[in-house]
């Protein structure tokens, strides 16, 4: 029996939960597929994707550090991928004339985050004041969806002011402003989102602005499990009323990728519940 071939590309990628998530979605929907992890360095990424396509690959997820490079490989991109200038989902587009495989690129990170925050955690985003920490591919992936969700303010803090300024300029929205990392801005925020990998190590990090939350503010880390622990523990100690890691976002963005590939939306709740038992919230 022919089995659809899918993969997740990254470096590192051995920790990825994507194969288990997509296997669970496929079982729900009665779809047979092969979904594997493919480790590729930045130098080898394009060649690895080409090889995957030649071997019958129909679609792929892309994680760090390849999202900007994936965008460059695509013949076409969705509006949300174009706004992010980063792709986390590749969809095979067959050439009717039998030419070389082509890829359509999408970015499901933002819609995955918004669905998780709204539907799973009941967080109100309409009118919210949001601080986004970081200005890399992860931040660029979620920022457009946050703006589309109706937030009132999106402030961006990044250690490199130039990168923060560049992301704010690319978003081209009056609600967006870039702040210096150590700027003594007195603004308060309803939601503070960490998109950086800086908290993934054991080295203590100072977030001098984390005291600036409004009453009842919510802290969000796009990492999950242990990777989110340092930031969320710091946020909790500094008055965050709620702390949310990125596990729900991971499942929701995967579901959107699955929908793009197979034309059906899976039920994310049971998949999230299984993973949550394996990875307790930090």
223 is in an annotated binding site: no
115 is in an annotated binding site: no
63 is in an annotated binding site: yes
Query: Between vectors from CA 226 to CA 220 and to CA 232, what angle results, nearest 5°?
Result: 30
- Three-class DSSP category at 180: strand
Q: For Cα atoms 234, 240, 244, give the angle at the middle one, nearest 5 degrees.
A: 80
Q: Is residue 117 within 8 Å of 92, Cβ to Cβ?
A: no
79 has binding-site annotation: yes
43 among annotated binding-site residues: no
- Scored b (16 or more CB within 10 A) or e, 4-32 reads bbbbbbbbebeebbbbebbebbbeeeebe
* C-alpha–C-alpha distance, residues 58 and 170, integer Å: 31
Sign of torsion over alpha carbons 177, 126, 279, 108: negative
Residue 134 — left, alpha, or beta (φ > 0 → left; ψ -120 to 50 → alpha)?
left
Indicate which residue of 5, 22, 58, 67 is catalytic. 67
* 67 labelled catalytic: yes
State the DSSP code for 64. Answer: T
Selection from 250, 239, 257 nearest residue 279 by Cα? 250
Residue 109 marked ligand-binding:
yes
Residue partners of 163: CB distance under 8 A and separation at least 6:
135, 136
Residue 132 annotated as binding site: no
Instruction: Answer yes or no: is 248 a known binding residue.
Output: no
- 16 annotated to bind ligand: yes
Q: Is 216 annotated as a binding residue?
A: no
240 assigned binding-site residue: no
Query: What DSSP character marks residue 198?
Result: G
Q: What is the token pair recorded at 253?
A: 């963005």
272 is in an annotated binding site: no
Residue 105 marked ligand-binding: no
Q: Is residue 137 a known part of a binding site?
A: yes
The full length of the chain comes to: 282
Known binding residue 215? Answer is no
Specify binding-site residues. Answer: 16-18, 63, 79, 88, 109, 134-138, 222, 224, 246, 253
Specify binding-site residues for shikimate. Answer: 16-18, 63, 88, 109, 224, 253
Catalytic residue numbers read: 67
Specify binding-site residues for NADP(+). Answer: 79, 134-138, 222, 246
């Amino acid at each position: 029996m022919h089995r659809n071939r899918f993969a997740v590309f990254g470096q590192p990628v051995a920790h990825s939960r994507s194969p288990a998530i997509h296997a669970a979605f496929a079982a729900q929907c009665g779809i047979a597929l092969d979904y594997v992890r493919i480790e590729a360095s930045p130098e080898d990424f394009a060649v690895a994707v080409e090889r995957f396509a030649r071997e019958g690959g129909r679609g792929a997820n892309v994680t760090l550090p390849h999202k900007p490079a994936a965008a460059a490989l695509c013949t076409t991109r969705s509006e949300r991928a174009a706004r992010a200038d980063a792709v986390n989902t590749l969809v095979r587009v067959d050439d009717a004339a039998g030419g070389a495989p082509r890829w359509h690129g999408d970015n499901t990170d933002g819609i995955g985050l918004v669905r998780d925050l709204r539907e799973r955690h009941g967080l109100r985003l309409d009118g919210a004041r949001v601080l986004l920490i970081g200005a890399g591919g992860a931040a660029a992936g979620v920022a457009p969806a946050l703006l589309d969700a109706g937030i009132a303010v999106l402030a961006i803090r990044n250690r490199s002011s130039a990168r923060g300024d560049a992301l704010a300029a690319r978003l081209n929205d009056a609600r967006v402003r870039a702040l210096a990392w150590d700027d003594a801005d007195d603004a308060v925020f309803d939601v503070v989102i960490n998109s950086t990998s800086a908290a993934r190590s054991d080295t203590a990090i100072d977030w001098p602005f984390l005291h600036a939350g409004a009453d009842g503010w919510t802290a969000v880390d796009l990492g999950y499990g242990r990777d989110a622990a340092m930031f969320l523990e710091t946020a909790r100690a500094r008055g965050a009323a709620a702390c949310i890691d990125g596990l729900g976002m991971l499942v929701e963005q995967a579901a959107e990728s699955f929908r793009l590939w197979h034309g059906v939306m899976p039920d994310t709740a049971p998949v999230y519940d299984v993973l949550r038992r394996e990875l307790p919230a930090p």
